[in-house]
Structure 1
Amino acid sequence: MNQTASTIILEEDSFFLEIYLDPFNKRIRVDDYRGNTTSVIEKVEELVIVHKAEKLIVKVRSEDYFNFLEKGLQPEALVDRYFLGSDAHFFSKFYTPERKKNDHWITEDGMIHTIYQLDTTLQKAIPPKEYGLRKVDESCAVELAALYRQVFQIYPTPLHDPDYIKKTIKDGTIYYAYFYAGKIVSVASAEVNFFYKNAELTDCATLTEHRKYGLMKMILQELEGELKRNGIFCAYSIARSLSFGMNAVLFQLGYSYRGRFMNNCYIYDKLENMNMWVKNLANC
């Protein structure tokens, strides 16, 4: 099977579907749907069999919550105001026993509890003047890809490929990065959904030797500012559940925990659980 992810649109008499096929992570994600929810689920489960997916994720509108629950899917996470101000419930279903097993869940529950005890009034660190923050464009794609290769042995999207990064920028993804001695040392992006007016803050990476200055917090705040200037107030981020640092950064920036995806994607060095964090930028 081709390992390249792709988005497909399906339209029939009783429904419309926008589906993200993700063979690398052995999953299928329904990003949008309209029409008869029973037909929607039946069609998607046909695709699960065809593509040998192990996990299905559906972004469900609040009014359809019980329709999907009754069909055997279960809610894993929530994004407040995702659909032009209406909440999105991320429902999942697993298709192999192995994909539904996890040894880290209790540990990760404890981490969330610890993070919620953190002080959110701490003064932000100011990086030394040798560090410069700016928006980056396609000309930095090769350098960005090299940084992602260095930080992540495995990543759920092909950020190791400069051409993929160039495509994301053309499609509207915003990247900000810190430079040190002329080289990128920390980066994050905002993947914008212009139709539903939301954005995922993602692809966060900092070289190990530059992690003591709180660079990622500054980058995320800069991205938030640009989103607000563009009238986008629903921001969310999905962080590795075993990464205390990244989850703590999001909490201290005012994001709220909204659930956890079990065995969601291959990242860092294995299949991992991912935490959902959400922020309403209109309140800050």
Structure 2
Amino acid sequence: MQKYETIKQSTFSASVYRDGVNKRIRVDDVRGNLPSLLTHLETESGFDQCEKLIIKAREYQFKILLEMGYVHEGEVTHYFNGDTAHFMSKFMKDERRASSYWCDEDAILSSVQKLRRQPHEKIAEQSIQLAEAGHAEELAHLYQKVFQLYPVPLHDPEYIRDAMNKGTIFVCIREDDQVISAASAEVDSQYKNAEITDCATLPHYRKGGFMKNLIAKLEDELRSREIYCAYTIARALSYGMNAAFHQLGYRYRGRLANNCYIYDKMEDMNIWEKDLWQ
């Protein structure tokens, strides 16, 4: 089960994402007494099923969490209306903390960061569409073909329609009467940031530069809506996706260990960020 909720107590208020599928809880924002929130979460029924607790901490909360044994895994420097969000994590199981691929991922990152940042080859503008509710079935079909596992239920057209209704922007490329490549931007209007996510291309159409063009289109849409902090959380084992974001000017901001089930297993995820003002 996955759900967002707002928890309000006399000493704190917090936005919390409970993610039973990935056995984690993520706190996207907390105001007030941080230790009280953590005590509240840790004493709740069902908390024993959580293997990882992630807090998106503000600057003044950073050292509090360090003192409480939380691990700093990365950051997005312009997340909170221009202020930094530190990704602070607590692991409840040794196996959730230990990554089987960390050195391989370091090698991929090092190789990616040696690539030159250069303008990508643009495809015809009319080839890229802003997806609408009527495209939900095709988008879901694409994600079913590309991902055996995914952190959210993108295989369900209703989930995609609901995301669109809540402000997520989907862009896609269609060919041969089907969506062959797509990506989205999950917009946080309150804090003026957006997560670039749901990036997928059918295997036969890869290496055509489609994803870079889709991401560039999303960036244009975000600028038009005065959203200037763009970030992504990409599979650390994916050379292609990390290379795409690096070459588009995104900066590496850290790695989240055993963050979610994606593709075919639990994976580490790299954080990349871009200031769209530049």
- Does residue 234 in structure 1 map to residue 222 in structure 2? no
- 138, 142, 162: which one aligns with 2:133: 138
- 189, 192, 205: which one aligns with 1:197: 192
| Secondary structure of residue in 1 paired with 2:179 | strand
Query: Aligned ranges for residues 106-185 of structure 1 at < 5 Å?
Result: 106-121=103-118, 123-127=119-123, 132-185=127-180
What residue ranges of structure 1 are gaps of 5+ in the alignment?
A: none
Mapped contact 1:10–1:16 kept (Cα < 8 A): yes
Query: Aligned ranges for residues 1-284 of structure 1 at < 5 Å?
Result: 4-47=1-44, 50=47, 52-121=49-118, 123-127=119-123, 132-283=127-278
User: Offset of 1:97 from its aligned partner?
Assistant: 1.4
| Secondary structure of residue in 2 paired with 1:160 | coil
- 237-246 or 34-43, which moves further after superposition? 34-43
User: Offset of 1:140 from its aligned partner?
Assistant: 0.6
Distance 2:48 2:8 in 1: 19
User: Offset of 1:46 from its aligned partner?
Assistant: 2.4
| Secondary structure of residue in 2 paired with 1:102 | coil
User: Offset of 1:185 from its aligned partner?
Assistant: 0.3
Structure 1, residues 74-127: CA drift from partner, whole Å, max 9, x if none? Answer: 110100110011000000010011111211101111111111110112x42244
Distance 2:45 2:276 in 1: 36
Structure 1, residues 209-261: CA drift from partner, whole Å, max 9, x if none? Answer: 11121000000000000100100000000100000000000000000000000
Could you tell me which amino acid in structure 2 is paired with residue 75 of structure 1?
A: H
Distance 1:233 1:190 in 2: 12
Structure 1, residues 160-179: CA drift from partner, whole Å, max 9, x if none? Answer: 00000000000000000011
Mapped contact 2:41–2:47 kept (Cα < 8 A): no
User: Offset of 1:48 from its aligned partner?
Assistant: 8.1
Distance 2:256 2:46 in 1: 21
Q: TM-score when scaled to structure 1?
A: 0.95
Distance 1:63 1:130 in 2: 44
Distance 2:43 2:17 in 1: 14
Distance 1:189 1:125 in 2: 20
User: Offset of 1:18 from its aligned partner?
Assistant: 1.1
Distance 1:116 1:193 in 2: 28
| Secondary structure of residue in 2 paired with 1:213 | coil
Going from structure 1 to structure 2, the CA distance change for 1:126 and 1:82 (only over 3 Å counts) comes to closer
Mapped contact 1:130–1:180 kept (Cα < 8 A): no
User: Offset of 1:49 from its aligned partner?
Assistant: 5.3
Structure 1 runs, 4 residues or longer, greater than 6 Å off = none
